[in-house]
Copies of this chain bind each other. A is one copy, B any other.
């Protein structure tokens, strides 16, 4: 699925910045930060547009925004091929050493029975540690 098809599929207007962002995320194929994306996009698009694009794309379910620490936000494309899981149900692994973020697609977020009165909308799990490469 290319950028144009993804945008159509989510009923989001096709614009140059959005296409560029999606292509950059596709190239990366792992969650990327703003600075990492900027390197790939060149200094063409300004930060305001970037943030607005990311917000639009996240609301439409095109991308998925993961906060690791603050001052470290990563974005990843949602997998449109296998149905859209806008509310991601998998666990994220963050390597404390190489700062990479890995989607643990096999590990699902748990179900919790909340005290009565609470209403759950999303659940996020981040495991920190050392990835395969750094754990040697």
Residues of A in contact with B (beta carbons under 8 Å apart) = 67-73, 91, 93, 96, 104, 107, 109-110, 112, 114-115, 117-132, 135
User: Is B107 a contact of A127 with CB atoms below 8 Å?
Assistant: no
Q: How far is the CA of A91 from the CA of B126 in the complex (A)?
A: 12
A129 touches B135 (CB 8 A): no
List of B residues within 8 angstroms of A109 by Cβ? 125
Among B67, B96, B112, B130, contact of A67 (Cβ-Cβ < 8 Å): B67
Contacts of A123 in B (CB 8 A): 125-128
Complex alpha-carbon distance, A124 and B124, angstroms: 8
Residue of B at shortest CB range from A135? B119
How many copies the complex holds: the figure is: 2
Q: Are B129 and A117 in contact (CB under 8 A)?
A: no
Closest Cβ of chain B to A24, distance in Å, is: 20
7 CB contacts below 8 A, A to B, read: A67-B70, A93-B114, A107-B112, A118-B129, A118-B132, A121-B128, A123-B126
